Amino acid sequence: MSSKQLVCLNEYEKEALAILDRNSSSYYQSGANDEQTLHDNINDFKRFRLRPRMLTDVSEVRLETTILGERISMPICIAPTASQRMAHPLGEIANARAAEAMNTCFVLSTIATTSARELSEHVPNSLRWYQLYITRDRAITQKMVKRAEVYGFKALVLTVDTPTFGTRYSDTRIKFKVPQHLRMANFDGIPSMESGMANNSGGSGLNFFSDTFFDPSVTWKDVAWLKSITALPVVAKGILTGEDAERAIEAGVDAIIVSNHGARQLDGVFSTIIALPEVVAQVRGRVEVYLDGGVRKGTDVLKALSLGARAVFIGRPALYGLAVGGEQGVTDILSILKKELKLAMQLSGETDVQKLRKGLVIHESMMTRL
């Protein structure tokens, strides 16, 4: 852990990038192509402005909420990100422990360096969801679903925006590889995946994974099939339009994450904060809507909640916390966001994350019409 006093998420990012090797830092930072959407995810939050209400009693502020019926201490959770042991030897375990300490939700990536079984053994009482792809070989999907059920995960987070990997110039430029001492642990016990990645000449296993694991033929009918084989709630992650939100609801999903995969898939799409209002308007409260992508401040969280998100999920900031201080670093990241959210609510005249008033946030383009 650095001896410096780090006071905000941007400082944790700078510190982490000074600690991580080039292979890891480039992979964690990278976005698709020219990274337009990567920057928009952060910058577009600044284009929404808060309209505070003065002289209200803000001596008590309620941050607690629920997601899919599970109570959490704040509407800030940890998104699935790959290969967390590149940031810290405990990787996903440290991240999940921090989420548990803060009484919030952690989502385990399919491409994790810690398996679902290992996570359940080390953090048995945590609220954890399992991120999932529908694979070419549906038997692999079924095996992963069964493991999630057996090991106590409370929901499946189905990523719907990845028929194949997007192009990330940075990864190509440095010839990114997962370090040899790490493994994609969720593929343990799946012979076709174990042998294929072990024999991959590039060493990382990612090319084999992309070519053999992702299924470009998946449709909403397959989402309905997934619902038919599990009692776990299914959360569709990667929705950016009202049309797809409607299709997701018709397929039976229980919640939606407005997400562009951390801007790592298709460059030039809307940032998630811009896409959020359209999705919320289409959903009309029929399922819960969450957001990930670009959240770096408590005011970002407040803006997303005001525009209809029930909670936000953070990805890169948790990785940077891991790199700087392991479990404590992630706990610090979550604590900073929680404190910033509470302060933003007090200064805006708000007292309950579940009862934010309409009109608290507007886009800057609407300011001249008031």
Confidence of residue 3 (pLDDT cuts 50, 70, 90): very low
Triad 297, 270, 296: Cα angle to 5°: 10
170-190 pLDDT, tens digit per residue, is 888 888 888 878 888 888 888
Phi-psi region of 72 (alpha: psi -120 to 50; beta: other; left: phi over 0): beta
Does 203 score more than 90 pLDDT? no
Catalytic residue among 39, 88, 122, 261: 261
Does 206 score more than 70 pLDDT? no
- Residue 296: its pLDDT value, please? 98
Residue 335, helix vs strand vs coil: helix
321-346 pLDDT, tens digit per residue, is 999 999 999 999 999 999 999 999 99
54-72 pLDDT, tens digit per residue, is 999 999 999 999 999 999 9
Enumerate residues 6+ apart whose C-beta is below 8 A from 369.
none
Identity of the residue numbered 279: V
340-368 pLDDT, tens digit per residue, is 999 999 999 999 999 999 899 999 988 76
Other residues' Cβ atoms within 10 Å of the Cβ of residue 278: 18
- Residue 212: its pLDDT value, please? 72
User: What average pLDDT does the chain have?
Assistant: 93
Mean pLDDT throughout 85-104? 97
Domains and CATH numbers, the chain: 9-51+65-364 (3.20.20.70)
| 39 belongs to the catalytic site | no
Enumerate residues 6+ apart whose C-beta is below 8 A from 223.
134, 158, 160, 234, 236, 248, 251, 252, 253
The kind and range of the H/E element at 312 are strand 311-314
- Residue 204: its pLDDT value, please? 47
Residue 255 CA neighbour count, 13 Å, CB half:
24
Does 159 score more than 90 pLDDT? yes
pTM of the model: 0.94
Query: Could you give the CA distance from residue 244 to residue 234 in angstroms, rounded to a whole number?
Result: 15
Does 267 score more than 60 pLDDT? yes
Does 99 score more than 80 pLDDT? yes
User: 320 near 12, Cβ under 8 Å?
Assistant: yes
- Residue 370: its pLDDT value, please? 56
Confidence of residue 33 (pLDDT cuts 50, 70, 90): very high
Confidence of residue 199 (pLDDT cuts 50, 70, 90): low
User: 64 near 311, Cβ under 8 Å?
Assistant: no
- Residue 170: its pLDDT value, please? 82
